């Protein structure tokens, strides 16, 4: 259970190789932290990642566990297995997802469906499983990495953007459903983040880094916020973009 300073004893990272997710884990580390679970599709290849997680204290136990976002029927059992290892879940970070290229999705609709299954369907099933556990505990935080791409979906990445729009809506509704239980959901909306996922891509305006996203996320967790934009200026930018007429929005050089 988190102490009076909001410092977790247990952290579960769904998407245990995510640059942003690992940065959030490092930012959350304190003397209270006892156990970190890195949930990954291939545990054997993630052992080196666990060793390089960058945690300062050798007293923190890092476990690598098998998790596949596509296998929705395994998610409740997976959460039970995590609880069996670490006990109560203080912070769960949902950081898995695929970006892909719109041109590839246009050519291969099945690939587009697989991406949406990871980004949205898998998030729904594991998110509900996490929420059920947090509700029973009466405490805990679920951090959901959304994206500004879901705020106003662009033609250049509309499959990815639509999956993030669905995820964002789900996470907000899930947070509302947990009101009064002691458990909460934090929705994180980053802009372009320089990470392994975006390597080789042209950076968008107001781009940021995993460490900066982590700082903003942990600050929001400690303040009790339900949503955080990072960088914060994007909240203003998208409040304008969201209401632009379609004909004007389509002419903008947004990529």
Q: Which two tokens stand for residue 5?
A: 């300073």
Sequence spans of domains, the chain: 10-249
The CATH code that applies to domain 10-249 is: 3.40.50.720
- Cis amide leading into 162 (omega within 30): no
* Phi–psi pair at 107, nearest 5 degrees: -80, -20
Q: What is the pLDDT of residue 254?
A: 60
Cα dihedral 50/55/60/61 (nearest 10): 0
Active site positions, annotated: 160
Tens digit of each residue's pLDDT (9 = 90 or more) over 191-244 = 878 777 776 666 666 778 999 999 999 999 999 999 999 988 877 776 766 766
- The 10s digit of each residue's pLDDT in 45-97 is 655 555 556 677 778 898 999 999 999 999 999 999 999 999 999 999 999 99
Consecutive H or E run containing 13: strand 10-14
What residues does 227 pair with on adjacent strands? 187
Among candidate residues 187, 188, 166, 190, the one with its CA nearest the CA of residue 175: 187
């Amino acid at each position: 259970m988190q102490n009076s300073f909001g410092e977790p004893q247990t952290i579960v990272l769904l998407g245990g190789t995510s640059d942003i997710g690992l940065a959030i884990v490092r930012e959350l580390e304190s003397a209270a932290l006892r156990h970190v679970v890195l949930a990954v599709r291939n545990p054997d290849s993630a052992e080196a990642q666990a060793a390089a997680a960058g945690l300062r204290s050798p007293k923190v136990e890092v476990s690598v566990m098998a998790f596949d976002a596509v296998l929705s029927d395994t998610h409740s059992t997976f959460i039970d297995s995590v609880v069996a290892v670490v006990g109560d879940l203080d912070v769960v970070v949902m950081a898995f997802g695929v970006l892909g290229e719109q041109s590839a999705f246009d050519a291969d609709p099945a690939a587009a469906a697989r991406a949406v299954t990871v980004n949205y369907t898998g998030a729904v099933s594991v998110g509900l499983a996490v929420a059920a556990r947090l509700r029973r505990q009466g405490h805990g935080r679920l951090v959901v990495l959304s994206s500004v791409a879901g705020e106003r979906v662009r033609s250049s990445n509309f499959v990815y953007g639509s999956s993030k729009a669905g995820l964002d809506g789900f996470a907000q509704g899930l947070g509302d459903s947990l009101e009064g239980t002691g458990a909460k959901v934090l929705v994180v909306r980053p802009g372009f983040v320089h990470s392994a996922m975006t390597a080789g891509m042209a950076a968008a305006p107001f781009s940021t880094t995993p460490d900066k996203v982590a700082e903003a996320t942990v600050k929001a967790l400690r303040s009790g916020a339900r949503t955080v934009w990072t960088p914060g200026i994007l909240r203003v930018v998208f409040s304008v973009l969201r209401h632009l007429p379609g004909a004007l929005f389509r002419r903008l050089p947004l990529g």
